[in-house]
Chains A and B, each alone.
Chain A
Amino acid sequence: MRTRIIDSLFTAMREHEDIFFLTADMGINLVERFAQAYPDRFLNVGIAEQNLIGVAAGLANAGFRPFVYTISNFLVHRAFEQIRIDVALHRYPITLLGTSSGFDNAPLGPTHHILDEWGSLRAIPGIDIYCPASTTYAAGLVPLQLARNNPAYVRIPKGSFDHPALGAGDTIYLPKRDATSLLVAYGATVPACLAVHESKAPASLLVLNRLRPLEDLRLPLSSHRRVLVVEDHFAHAGLYSLLCQYANEQSLPCRLHTAAPDTYNLHTGATERFYHSMYRMDEPSLTAFINA
Chain B
Amino acid sequence: MLAETIASASRSPAAIRRSILEMLHRARASHLGPCMSVVEALAAIYASVDLEPIRRRARDRSRVIVSKGHCAAAVYATLAHYGLLSFDQLQSYCADGSLLAGHVSHAVDGVEHSTGALGHGLPVACGCAFGLRNLRADHSHVYCLVGDGEMQEGSNWEAIMLAAHHRLSNLTLLVDSNRISSITATANVINLFPLEDRFQAFGWTPYAVDGHSPAAIADTLARIRHRGELAAVVCNTIKGYGVPFAENQPIWHYRSLNDDLFQQALTNLDEAVRS
Among A3-11, A43-51, A242-250, the stretch in contact with B: A43-51
A154 within 8 A of B: no
Task: Report the Cα distance A85→B115, complex, angstroms.
Answer: 8
- Contact flags (1/0) for B108-140 with A, using CB distance below 8 Å? 000011111101101111111111101100000
Task: Report the Cα distance A57→B131, complex, angstroms.
Answer: 10
A55, B130: Cβ atoms closer than 8 Å: yes
Contact of A51 with B106 at beta-carbon distance under 8 Å, contacts A58-B129, A61-B113, A89-B114 already known:
no
A85, B134: Cβ atoms closer than 8 Å: no
Closest A residue by C-beta to B61: A62
A61, B117: Cβ atoms closer than 8 Å: no
Minimal beta-carbon separation of A76 from chain B (angstroms): 16
B127, A59: Cβ atoms closer than 8 Å: yes
What is the size category of the interface that chain B forms with chain A? 20 to 34
User: Among the listed A64, A82, A90, which residue makes an inter-chain contact with B123, where contact means beta carbons less than 8 Å apart?
Assistant: A82
B124, A40: Cβ atoms closer than 8 Å: no
Task: Report the Cα distance A59→B158, complex, angstroms.
Answer: 16
B91 within 8 A of A: no
User: Among the listed B106, B117, B161, which residue makes an inter-chain contact with A46, where contact means beta carbons less than 8 Å apart?
Assistant: B161
**A window 1-34: CB within 8 A of B:** 20
User: Per DSSP, are chain B's interface residues mostly helix, strand or loop, or mixed?
Assistant: helix
Minimal beta-carbon separation of A66 from chain B (angstroms): 8
A53 within 8 A of B: yes
Residues of B within 8 A of A85 (CB): 114-117, 120
A55, B127: Cβ atoms closer than 8 Å: yes
A198 within 8 A of B: no
B residues contacting A by CB (< 8 A) are 59, 63, 65, 106, 112-117, 119-120, 122-132, 134-135, 154-155, 158-159, 161-162, 165
Known: A50-B154, A54-B123. 15 other contacts (CB 8 A): A20-B134, A46-B162, A50-B158, A51-B155, A54-B122, A58-B63, A59-B131, A62-B59, A62-B63, A63-B59, A81-B117, A85-B114, A85-B117, A86-B120, A89-B106
| 5 closest cross-chain pairs (CB), A and B | A58-B127, A54-B123, A62-B131, A51-B158, A48-B158
A-B contact list, 6 entries, CB within 8 Å: A51-B158, A55-B130, A59-B127, A59-B131, A64-B131, A90-B106
